[in-house]
Amino acid sequence: AVAALLRAQRPIYDVVVIGWGTLSSIPRLPTLSPESLLAELARIGRRVMNVVSTTNNHVKFQRQCEARRRAYAETTDPAVRAWLLPKIGLANFPRSYYYRVDTGELMFYAAVTADEEAERLKAAGFSDVRLRICNIINFFDIQTKPRAARLNSAVIRLLERGDAWAAQLLLSRGVAQAFKRPLSDLRTSGCIFDASSENALYSQVARY
Residues for the chain: how many in total? 208
Whether the pLDDT of residue 5 is over 90: the answer is no
| Residue 17, beta-bridge partner list | 49
Whether the pLDDT of residue 1 is over 60: the answer is no
CA nearest to 37, candidates 120, 95, 110, 97: 120
pLDDT score at 11: 55
Percentage of the chain exceeding pLDDT 90: 65
Query: For strand 106-110 and strand 45-49, is the pairing parallel, antiparallel, or unpaired?
Result: unpaired
Q: From CA 109, how far away is CA 64, in angstroms rounded? A: 13
Percentage of the chain exceeding pLDDT 70: 95
Q: From CA 112, how far away is CA 110, in angstroms rounded? A: 7
Whether the pLDDT of residue 7 is over 90: the answer is no
pLDDT score at 185: 86
pLDDT score at 90: 96
Task: Write out pLDDT tens, residues 62-99.
Answer: 999 999 999 999 999 999 999 999 999 999 999 999 99
Q: Treating both helix axes as pointing N-terminal to C-terminal, what angle do 2-9 and 34-44 enclose, rounded to 10 degrees?
A: 30
Report residue 187's pLDDT band, with 50, 70 and 90 as the boundaries.
confident
3-class DSSP state for residue 80?
helix
